[in-house]
A and B are shown apart, each in its own frame.
Chain A
Amino acid sequence: MHGLVNQAIERFACETYDEGFWKDVCRRAGLGSCAFDAMQVYDGAITERVLDALFQTLGKGQDEVLEDIGTFLVSARASTAVRRLLRFSGTDFVDFLYSLDDLPARVRLAVPDLLLPQLELHEHAAHRFSLAVGATDGLRNRYGHVMLGLLRAMADDYGALVVLEHKGAKGNEEIIAITLLETAFAEGRNFELAAGAQ
């Protein structure tokens, strides 16, 4: 598992809760060190252990926690980089949805060894979509809820009003239903192409 994924979990735990909480999670997961390196590759089993420890320490359902992580990736102050890189994908939320199929390839351009699950968008009717989220790197049925949180936060970022629903897993795929109620419901966050401009 890529260190960026583990580090995202670490940052989520440290910033949403605190460092003491993160240390508890690491202890429960039986980790020697509490700090993940963003540029290192770890055994996928470690990520599983950390996630399980996180769910247990929080005493929350895993779907809910995974969704919170997805939202954190986009909206946390510390992860402007992720939000910005995602915003390069589309000029509005629908454009962003249309580009989701390319997201894993886009991510590989930036970090060649970061493998993300396959994403496939289906358009059922005007403003009604579903997103199939594949499994990758041994993490099954985890990314769907993370994507749900991420999509929610991105819709917010673009100022779109959407209804998102996790439809469960079908084989190796998780399905997210996306209904777009309004593309310009609220004023989205500004996005200038120049880094550091906002």
Chain B
Amino acid sequence: MSAGRSDPAALAQMLDTLCPMHALIDATGHIRHAGPALCKLRPDRQLNGRRLLEVMELRRPRAEGHMAGLLALARQKLHFALRDRPRTELKGVLVPLGDEFGLPGGAVLNLSFGISIVDAVREYALTGTDFAATDLAVELLYLVEAKSTAMDELRRLNLRLDGARAQAEQAAYTDKLTGLRNRRALEPVLDDAVRSGRSFALLHLDLDWFKAVNDGFGHAAGDRVLQAVAERLTEGTRERDTQIRVGGDEFLLVLPRAGGREEISRLARRLIDSIERPVMHDGRELRVSASIGACLSTDYDPVDVTRMMRGADTALYAAKAAGRGRCVFHDPKPGGSGFAGPA
């Protein structure tokens, strides 16, 4: 046997380049040489001379904890985990060595990170030179990073689009002149009110004498009045109430858990009084009033938005007919008068 053939150092040197994360194991199961990448996993430990299965545990398949047990698993895929922290998982394959390499009864164990590679490169601060030139690990890491960069960008794009959509929705449901909700908001607001299962009141409000302001002082004056009314409706109701401008000088108030007729009457009176306060425009006092048709969801069984809307509308008509500047309730109960006490 020639010296060259029996020298495991020549084999080690070749393997350092071809598969840097390998170990040469002797017949007693001790590490005789650890490749440079394997050394990098435990930089402050001498791996040479230690028993392989003391450094790492064979997870799968199960085997006897000695060299013969390992050799019995030659050429199969093996799953290891390092015994101390960080307990990195490794994939491996073992090939027994013949006499010609100077390590009779020994074996080469080649290792790789498998899917744990993303954590491993961080854990051990690995660089491109820690992998064999033919290893796809670096390409894999490139892909992982490229994909997560692209995902981040998509996430940012999504957030931006969400923001834009919320803004557009808000704009679509807002009346430009008064800042109140507009007619488009009517259906979703009423749907929400019904779905909540709680009682609510519907107030259909129409301005009195608004046409006189518009005709007499111009549209700018009319707009100013509408803005003032919107402010007063918002101030005169609660946070959870919704004020909708459904058309020209018509408004709808949806008031969840607003109490009974007595409470609503008082509220309606207050709102009408506040609307009757003069609005200043170009040094002039503009005056309007309001009529209100109201109905309570508790008067309807089952709650029916279409009927309530019709009821409030009818009640509004009655309020106008009764002399304006007042609130009339609609009473849908059989045998009821249709209307109940003006406020």
Contact = CB atoms under 8 A, between A and B. Distances in A.
B145 A84 contact: yes
Nearest to B149: A81
Interface in B123-165: 125-129, 138-139, 141-150, 153-154, 157
Contacts of B148: 195
A159 to B, nearest CB: 14
Interface of B: 118, 121-122, 125-129, 138-139, 141-150, 153-154, 157
Nearest to B154: A39
Q: Chain A CB within 10 Å — which of B118, B142, B143, B147 has the most?
A: B142
Contacts of B127: 91, 191-193
Interface string A23-45: 00000000000000111000000
B128 A193 contact: yes
A9 B144 CA distance: 26
Nearest to B129: A91
Contacts, number: 60
Given A38-B157, A109-B142, 7 more contacts: A39-B157, A81-B145, A84-B145, A85-B149, A110-B149, A192-B122, A197-B122
Contact of B141 (A90, A110, A111, A193): A193
A50 to B, nearest CB: 20
A88 B144 CA distance: 11
A106 B147 CA distance: 12
B126 A194 contact: yes
A109 B121 contact: no
Nearest to A110: B146
Mostly, the B contact residues are: helix
Given A38-B157, A110-B150, A193-B138, A88 B121 contact: no
Contacts of A106: 142
Nearest to B138: A88
Contacts of A37: 157
B235 to A, nearest CB: 38
Given A39-B153, A91-B128, A91-B129, A195 B145 contact: yes
B143 to A, nearest CB: 6
B129 A110 contact: no
Contacts of B122: 192, 194-197
A106 B122 CA distance: 23
Contacts of A194: 118, 121-122, 125-126
Interface residues of A, number: 20
A142 B123 CA distance: 42
Nearest to A198: B125
5 smallest CB-CB distances across A and B, nearest first, come from A110-B146, A194-B122, A88-B142, A91-B128, A193-B121
Interface string A160-198: 000000000000000000000000000000011111110
B111 to A, nearest CB: 17
Contacts of B147: 110
**Highest count of chain B CB atoms <10 Å: which of A85, A111, A193, A195:** A193
Contacts of B145: 81, 84-85, 88, 195
Given A37-B157, A39-B154, A88 B149 contact: no
A38 B161 CA distance: 13
A197 B144 CA distance: 15
22 contacts: A38-B157, A39-B153, A39-B154, A85-B142, A85-B149, A88-B142, A91-B128, A91-B129, A106-B142, A109-B142, A110-B149, A192-B122, A192-B125, A192-B126, A193-B126, A193-B141, A194-B122, A194-B125, A194-B126, A196-B122, A197-B122, A197-B125
A111 B151 CA distance: 11
Nearest to B130: A193
A85 B141 contact: no
Contacts of A196: 122
A38 B126 contact: no
Interface string A81-112: 10011001011000000000000001001110
A85 B146 CA distance: 7
Given A91-B128, A192-B127, A197-B125, A38 B153 contact: yes
Nearest to B156: A38
A129 B303 CA distance: 82
A88 B147 CA distance: 14
Contacts of B144: 195
Nearest to A197: B122
B146 A109 contact: yes
Nearest to A4: B153
A39 B125 CA distance: 32
A81 B151 CA distance: 13
Contacts of A111: 146, 150
A191 B127 CA distance: 7
A4 B114 CA distance: 33
A90 B143 CA distance: 15
